[in-house]
Amino acid sequence: MGLWSEAAENLLVGTAVQESGLTSLRQYGSGPALGLYQMEPATHDDIYTNYLRFHPKLLSKVRRLMGSEPPELDQLATNLAYATAMARIHYLRVSEPLPDATDLRGLALYWKHYYNTALGAGEVEQFVSNYERIEK
């Protein structure tokens, strides 16, 4: 998609590790989140409604990552390329620049503020610890 940077890669890896432990494709319990990034359907749909429809070249790139089945939303749990693209676009919509690729705490704070949000259950220290665990 032309959106790679070391900082974006580290942020996405950290997000996936924190959100799903790199194992859960559906949210535990009865929650709606899907995929390694545990993206909620409302976030997924908002990306299309308020961002991708205004960026047709990027939308075309996203569409090329998709299979014909299952529906878009379900592909968050079945198509890792699509799920990663959607998580990257979620962060792309943020006007604040990404932290330095080596600033793990900065990446964790960015995740907490722009992905998990203040109301989310995740903690910055968890993100750092989980990332360091998989780095080893």
Instruction: For residue 40, name the pLDDT band (cuts at 50, 70, 90).
Output: very high
| 35 φψ region: left (φ > 0), alpha (ψ -120 to 50), beta (else) | left
- Tell me the angle at which helices 6-20 and 80-92 cross, rounded to the nearest 10 degrees: 110
Backbone angles phi, psi at 70, to 5 degrees: -75, -175
Mean pLDDT of the chain: 94
Determine the pLDDT at residue 67. Answer: 87
Distance CA 92, CA 64 (A): 19
Examine the pLDDT at 27 and tell me if it is beyond 80: no
| CB distance 36 to 80 below 8 Å | yes
Q: Taking the domains of the chain in order of start, what are their residue ranges?
A: 6-135
pTM of the model: 0.94
Confidence category of residue 49, pLDDT binned at 50, 70, 90: very high
Convert the pLDDT of each residue in 109-118 to its tens digit.
Answer: 999 999 998 8
Measured distance between the N- and C-terminal CA atoms of the chain, rounded to whole angstroms: 29
